[in-house]
Structure formats: structure tokens, C-alpha cells
Amino acid sequence: MKTMNFKWLVMILAFFVLITDCKDEEKEVSKFIGDFVISKAQLAEALTIPTNEAGNISIPAGTDITQAIQTALLSAVSCSSPDKSYVEMREDNSLYLSCEGSSPLNAGTWEEVSATSLKLNMNSTAIPPVGFVLTVTDIVEDANGLTGITTVPLTKAMIAGMIASMQLTLTSSAPELFIVKISIEFMEK
């Protein structure tokens, strides 16, 4: 009788182990999935701009360029205000640019390179005429969102627009693209 009870106990334990081992593993969700507003952008390195009026001017690291970056990255979305536009990074790794109250624009794909690095593969619809890849590194997550470092190519026309408010114009020898290293903050919407 004791042998019979022991066999049942062993069978019940084996069955219990089988059931608990067969549980579906929970899928890990990336911290990058969500809707994010570009809330802050600052130069991470000084930027030198050749002007006709003042020669080479240096814009110091730490200078706020939030509006220029919002305009550059979200210009394909017609929005009444840049702070109403946002980036959607969906679970299927699709990337959309959106404006509150409007249909989202398919902007390409995104990928999690590592826990501290993100790549945005922006298509030509989002960034005409050919799109580009934006890699954000050194990402830190806090209660409000994500902060990281990226390098953004800004066109000659964009730089000219930025310095026009200072009554300055670019020299004819200014490069077509300025490679700008920035610190960028994405606040979760």
C-alpha cells in the first residue's frame, strides 16, 4: 500500500513539473515601444558656421536647437505646432510620425541595437528626398522618457534659416550638409 501511494505521489509531482515547465515565456517588451515627443535637443559639440557678415561663428555646445530638430525630423507631418507632433515606435518595429488629430505617416522602421542604442530607419516619405538612418546612442531612461546622443545631417538651407534671425547669411563655400552632434530627449507621450 505504501508503495502504491508513493508511486502516485511521484506521478503527481512529475505531472506538476511538466505543467509548470510548459508555461509560455513572457515576451520581453522593448522600452523603446511607445509614442515620444522630441522635447529637447541641444548641441553636444560646438558648431562652426561660415557667415558673410561675421566670418566663422561658433555656436557653443549646450545651445538649445529643439525647434530646428523638431522641424527637421517631423517636417513631413503637417502640424499646427511642433509640440503636437510625435514619433510612434510600434511593437512590430514600424516607425510612424504623427500629429494629434491626424492620421500617422509611415516613416520607416526602428530597431533596438542594444539596451542603450536605437536606430531609426527613416524612409524618403519622412525625410525627402532619400531618407536617412538616425542612430541614437548612450540612451538613458528616466520617468519622463529617453535621452541620448545622435548625429544629424542638417542641410545648408536649414542652417541658413537658423542664422537668418541673427541677420547672418552663409558663405557660398558653406558645405551642403552640416553634421551636427546633438543630445536629444524623447518625452513619452
Residue 74 lies in a domain: yes
pLDDT of residue 20 exceeding 80: no
Q: Give the mean pLDDT of the chain.
A: 85
What DSSP assignment string belongs to 169-180?
-B-TTS-SEEEE
> Is pLDDT at 25 greater than 90 in this prediction?
no
Q: Is 158 helix (H, G, I), strand (E, B) or coil?
A: helix
Question: In terms of residue numbers, what domain contains 184?
Answer: 32-188
Residue 176: inside a domain: yes
Contact present, 137 and 117 (Cβ < 8 Å) = yes
Average pLDDT over residues 1-29: 55
CATH at 134: 2.40.128
23 is a domain residue: no
Neighbours of 150 (CB within 10 A): 21
Between residues 102 and 187, the one the model is more confident about:
187
* C-alpha to C-alpha distance for 180 and 57, rounded to whole angstroms: 15
Question: Based on the structure, what is the number of domains in the chain?
Answer: 1
* Average of per-residue pLDDT across 23-34: 74
Q: What is the pLDDT of residues 70-111, one digit of tens each?
A: 877 777 787 777 678 899 999 999 999 998 878 899 999 999
